[in-house]
Amino acid sequence: MTSLPLVFDAPKRGLPPRHLADLSTGDRRDAVTALGERAFRADQLSRHYFTRLTVDPGEMTDIPAASRERLLNDLIPPLFTVVRKLSCDDGTTQKALLRAHDGTLVESVLMRYPDRATLCISSQAGCGMACPFCATGQGGLNRNLSTAEIVEQVRMGAAAMRAGELPGGPGRLSNIVFMGMGEPLANYRRVVDAVRRITEPSPAGLGISARGVTVSTVGLVPAIDKLAGEGLAVTLAVSLHTPDDELRDTLVPVNNRWKVTEVLAAARRYADTTGRRVSIEYALIRDVNDQPWRAEMLGKLLAKHLTTRLVHVNLIPLNPTPGSKWDASPPHVQDEFVARVRATGVACTVRDTRGQEIAAACGQLAADG
């Protein structure tokens, strides 16, 4: 067993000052009264932030100027400045590079489809999981993001949709995936609090349906079990990438701690507790994990541990990352892989990868300025 940085809640190094979005509704009122302001000011602030999606003091005319300054300084400190926004796919994919108060860089990616809009958010700056095919994993972990830093990415994405920043006119942000930088379950408490803030009805939270939220993990078994007990109806995605321990030990180093069958057993418990189908992520890498026999082994293993009813395989054609020797499988190999998985009765689809040319696709987020 190798030693891996598997702390669930790492030290507070670099975290920003407390923010409205870190707090429950009750704690917001307490924070406001501690400043000598009336409790209902907390509700006004919440409406501006979570319902109107604004942090602009000029728009908060229902709060007297003197109070406004005091309240904003204390409860809505600036969390990010936008370094740049890059677009591709005819403007329907937009990557935002954000700089936190301490100079830390993170990225989020907004993708608009005909029927929905999905924001891919980061839960950590960098990542400690060290998967060799992922650009984020190559840089190591810089720090955890605070609850508010996670929520703020969503507020900004929702505001961009509402303002019609992407082609198609004003729209609504419907889906959130924790598939940006970081391992969400290694920043457990802050991520769970962020999910609550994202899904609570406005103005307590952003009012995005939990059904539209996906938390993706390398497979931290105790944290998956804990998540199942939170009473959140979010979708769990597990980055499996291969059904056998021998290869997975190298592709997803945390497999040295929790083996494939342990991860799938935890995924099954999650599905049983929440009633939600689990998504299995599989980056298809040419001549590494794309053999027909592996597809069959994958399908059979999933059917056994999760039942075909409770699982869905999401294939991700490998996206190129700097310095990596690996590339995506050719189309006929990919087609064969899909067919073999489906032959076992397990649902399998190929993810349409967005954002490759702006380094915004899965595994390409490195926030290298």
* Closest residue to ligand SAH: CB criterion: 363
Among 53, 134, 161, 341, binds ligand SAH (CB under 6 A): 134
283 makes contact with ligand SAH (CB under 6 A):
yes
Minimum CB–partner distance for residue 316 and ligand SAH (Å): 4
CB nearer ligand SAH, residue 19 or residue 354: 354
With CA atoms as reference, report the closest residue to 267 among 340, 215, 189: 215
* Contacts (CB under 6 A) with ligand SAH, residues 290-319: 316, 318-319
Active site residue 131: no
126 makes contact with ligand SAH (CB under 6 A):
no
Q: What is the DSSP track for 169-231?
A: SS----EEEE-SSS-GGGGHHHHHHHHHHHHSPTTTS----GGGEEEEES--HHHHHHHHTTT
* Contacts (CB under 6 A) with ligand SAH, residues 9-38: none
What is the distance between the alpha carbons of residues 145 and 358, in angstroms, rounded to a whole number? 23
Minimum CB–partner distance for residue 196 and ligand SAH (Å): 19
Structural tokens at position 160: 């961009």
179 makes contact with ligand SAH (CB under 6 A):
yes
Q: Of the ranges 11-19, 73-81, 93-101, 128-136, which one interacts with ligand SAH (CB under 6 A)?
A: 128-136
210: which residues sit within 8 A by CB, 6+ positions away?
195, 199, 232, 233, 234
What is the distance between the alpha carbons of residues 315 and 353, in angstroms, rounded to a whole number? 10
Phi, psi of 311 (to 5 degrees): -145, 155
Active site residue 134: no
- Select which of 131, 134, 348, 362 is catalytic: 362
With CA atoms as reference, report the closest residue to 297 among 258, 269, 337: 337
* Contacts (CB under 6 A) with ligand SAH, residues 254-273: none
For residue 155, CA distances in Å to 5, 149, 198, 199, 340 come to 30, 10, 9, 12, 41
216 makes contact with ligand SAH (CB under 6 A):
yes
106 makes contact with ligand SAH (CB under 6 A):
no
User: Is the peptide bond prior to 203 cis by the omega test (within 30 degrees of 0)?
Assistant: yes
89 makes contact with ligand SAH (CB under 6 A):
no
227 makes contact with ligand SAH (CB under 6 A):
no
| Residues binding ligand SAH (CB under 6 A) | 129, 131, 133-134, 179, 183, 216-218, 239, 281, 283, 316, 318-319, 321, 362-363
Catalytic residues: 107, 362
